[in-house]
Amino acid sequence: AMSDKIGRKKTILAGLLIFAAGSVIAALADNIYWLLLGRFLQGAGAIGSVVTAMIADQVREDERAHAMAVMGMVIAMSFAASMIIGPIIAGAWSVSALFWMTAILSLTALVILFTAVPEPPQIVHHYSEEEAQIKHVFKDKELVRMYITFLFHSSTMAIAFFLIPIVMKQQFEMSTLEFWKVYLPAVVFGILAMGPAAVFGEKYAKGKQVFLISIGFIIAAFALMGFTTSFWAFAVGAVFFFIGFNMFEPLLQSFVSKFAKVHQKGAALGVANTFAYVGIFLGGAIGGALYQHFSKEGVALFVMAASVLWFFWILGMRNPGLRANLFLDFDDYDKTKVAQLKGMAGVSDFYINETESLIIIKYDSEALDEERLKTMMRKSGDVQP
């Protein structure tokens, strides 16, 4: 990935400039073709995976889920705010005003990037040029499981945001100004669900179980939204969907960074987010086609069936919580010994953080004992306490 080679800040700079250019073109567009070009450039300037990789660089692995949860909450709150503020701005001025605002916000983000965001720590890792190739992020079967999970996760979101407003408008005869009655409580409960999901997923190493419970909520959500005639049951279904969807949020990016080697984080997160974008496209296309031919019941049945397959896909995943992290300081441990870890059974990755004077070892806690690693890495002549 570009950010793994030239650095996170340079990649974010390029992405934000492209996004700003796309916003300006879309704001000035006087026909559909210029608008499409502007939107294309906005999409090309997407920096979500690079920002996530930068957060992963800045935050210790044992604190990463909390950071990802905060990021997810901010995204969820900004999404909720956009649903309220967007129509107001477009109605008061024009849709072009929305594009001008995104251009200004992207340039503001550039100022923040270079004035408030610290430089990432200096990382030294050991890998060959061949190992740095993009194909290697597809060789770890757990990463592949995460990529497919990103696809399912985003496709259910696209289908939900296609189905929910249609049902509210056509079945329950709600105006768009009344949509907040469903969306607001759903978003609030969804945000509240993220905290416990992060705690159980990271602190108690129950990430796999959190994923399975989340899928259960999504299945229940579409069962209610697809087959009920009661508004309140439908609203509960929408709440269930946001809970299930948001429980994934603090863990998805964190687990990809757990499974990926340090030099692959940018590439792996980029691939994962690409699968997410493909999922949004597929979800919208499939949801629309199914609704046209089979109404909301057909859409709900499809998502429920796909979610059952998704459940069993996750069931076969190795729990990311078993990948432990060992942090050894330079005062007591010899960084020159890290070469001994290469190819060692149970060690998934290792690297040196020169900025914080730490040796970091990622290992399988079921296959290796922490004390064995400490003994191996301890400086010669040091006495083990």
Tell me the C-alpha distance between 79 and 289, whole Å.
26
Higher-pLDDT residue of 89 and 150 is 150
pLDDT of residue 311: 96
Tell me the C-alpha distance between 233 and 42, whole Å.
38
Tell me the C-alpha distance between 231 and 62, whole Å.
43
pLDDT of residue 129: 53
Dmax (CA) of the chain: 78
Whether this prediction's pTM lies above 0.85 is answered by no
Q: Is the pLDDT of residue 142 over 80?
A: yes
Structural domains in the chain? 2-315 (1.20.1250.20), 322-377 (3.30.70)
Which of 285, 310, 280 shows the shortest CA–CA distance to 219? 310
129: helix, strand or coil: coil
pLDDT of residue 123: 67
Helices (H) and strands (E) in the chain — how many of each? 12, 4
Query: What does the CA dihedral 13, 17, 20, 24 come to, rounded to 10 degrees?
Result: 170
Compute the mean pLDDT over every residue in the chain, rounded to the nearest whole number. Answer: 85
CB 258 within 8 A of CB 323: yes
CB 16 within 8 A of CB 107: yes
Q: What whole-number percentage of the chain has pLDDT above 70?
A: 91
Angle at 133 between CA 130 and CA 139, to 5 degrees: 95
- Span 286-330, pLDDT tens digits: 999 999 999 999 999 999 999 999 999 999 988 776 777 888 888
Which of 41, 35, 43 shows the shortest CA–CA distance to 21? 41
- Span 212-243, pLDDT tens digits: 999 999 999 999 999 999 999 999 999 999 99
pLDDT of residue 126: 60
pLDDT of residue 383: 43
Q: Is the pLDDT of residue 170 over 60?
A: yes
Query: What Cα–Cα distance (Å) separates residue 189 from each residue in 166, 192, 260, 286, 322?
Result: 22, 5, 31, 27, 29
pLDDT of residue 119: 80
- Span 10-38, pLDDT tens digits: 899 999 999 999 999 999 998 999 999 99
Q: Is the pLDDT of residue 128 over 70?
A: no
